[in-house]
Amino acid sequence: MGTAFITGAGIRIGQAVARALAHAGYDVALHANRSLEALTSLADELRALGRRVTVHAADLSRPEAVDALGASVREAWPALDVVVHNAGLYERVPFEDISREQYRTMLGVNLDAPFFLTQALLPSLLAGKDPVVVHICDIAGERPESHFAHYSVSKAGLLMLTRALAVELAPRVRVNAVSPGVAAFPESFDAAAREQILRRIPMGREGSVEDVARAVVFLAKDAPYITGQVIAVDGGRSVKL
């Protein structure tokens, strides 16, 4: 079918995306930073399907690590059909307490890394059959919440990067985004916090990481005339005030 590279593939959405692409027939390059044990287990699982799999470790907050990761993936995969930028930081901090280091790290992982990894992997993408880049964004990039200013700014930047690269890299490379709402609650959210959020979702329930993964596979396989677009996988939350 093709080849795909997924960042942050060890857990949650990234793991589901990697698994869905492998089941759809893609060989995969998998990246993680702290979830290396889970990544190794996933790699073994996908190899059992007959897929070619490579594993790459990198701290995306470090520019030199991003550059090394790009070079490593490009060497292992001279042609790529799908690049999924999923790795990201998420933290709740009141605006007045956000340090410069926290701000720079947040933007480094959530925005700078996708920018420069796509730049590094462009030769491999141009060698792909119908190449597409997919950014995993967040509805917070358009509808911010209190205490997530630096996170919201990083995701808003990723939305604009989606549109900018869709223009810049056309017609050869498509660039789209998937914007989840609640795909899986963070463990830190208690029952009251979860219930408050669920009341704002028209469908009345949380989604799943598999919902997000299916949207990515759609963009990879079945959307040859879609670029520069954002698919909200959020149960309708983004359309409800």
Q: CA 67, CA 63: separation in Å to the nearest integer?
A: 6
Provide the pLDDT confidence category of residue 241 given band limits of 50, 70 and 90.
Answer: low
User: How many CB atoms are closer than 10 A to CB 99?
Assistant: 10
Q: What's the pLDDT at 144? A: 85
| The pLDDT value given to residue 183 | 67
* pLDDT band at residue 182 under the 50/70/90 scheme: confident
Q: In what order do the strands lie in the sheet with 174-180?
A: 53-57, 26-32, 2-6, 82-85, 132-136, 174-180, 230-233
Kindly name the residue from 26, 90, 103, 151 that is annotated as catalytic.
151
Is the model more confident about 198 or about 228? 228
Q: Give residue 185's pLDDT band: very low, low, confident or very high (50, 70, 90).
A: low
pLDDT at 198 over 90: no
Residue 151 appears among annotated catalytic residues: yes
Task: Quick: pLDDT tens for 14-72.
Answer: 999 999 999 999 999 999 999 999 999 999 999 999 999 999 999 999 999 999 999 99
Find the farthest-apart pair of alpha carbons in the chain and give their distance in angstroms, rounded.
Answer: 51
Return the pLDDT at 231. 96
**More confident call, 190 vs 139:** 139
- Rounded to two decimals, the pTM is 0.94
Q: Place 200 in a pLDDT band, splitting at 50, 70 and 90.
A: confident
> Which domains does the chain possess?
2-232 (3.40.50.720)
pLDDT > 90? residue 91: yes
pLDDT of residue 158: 98
Confidence of residue 210 (pLDDT cuts 50, 70, 90): very high
pLDDT at position 6 over 80? yes
Strand partners, 178: 136, 231
Q: What HEC string does the chain produce?
A: CEEEEECCCCCHHHHHHHHHHHHCCEEEEEEECCCHHHHHHHHHHHHCCCCCEEEEECCCCCHHHHHHHHHHHHHHCCCCCEEEECCCCCCCCCHHHCCHHHHHHHHHHHHHHHHHHHHHHHHHHHCCCCCEEEEECCHHHCCCCCCCHHHHHHHHHHHHHHHHHHHHCCCCCEEEEEEECCCCCCCCCCHHHHHHHHCCCCCCCCCCHHHHHHHHHHHHHCCCCCCCCEEEECCCHHHCC
pLDDT in tens, 98-111: 999 999 999 999 99
- At 237, the pLDDT band (50, 70, 90 cuts) reads confident
Mean per-residue pLDDT, 213-217: 98
What mean pLDDT, rounded, does the chain reach?
Answer: 94
Q: Report pLDDT for 51.
A: 98
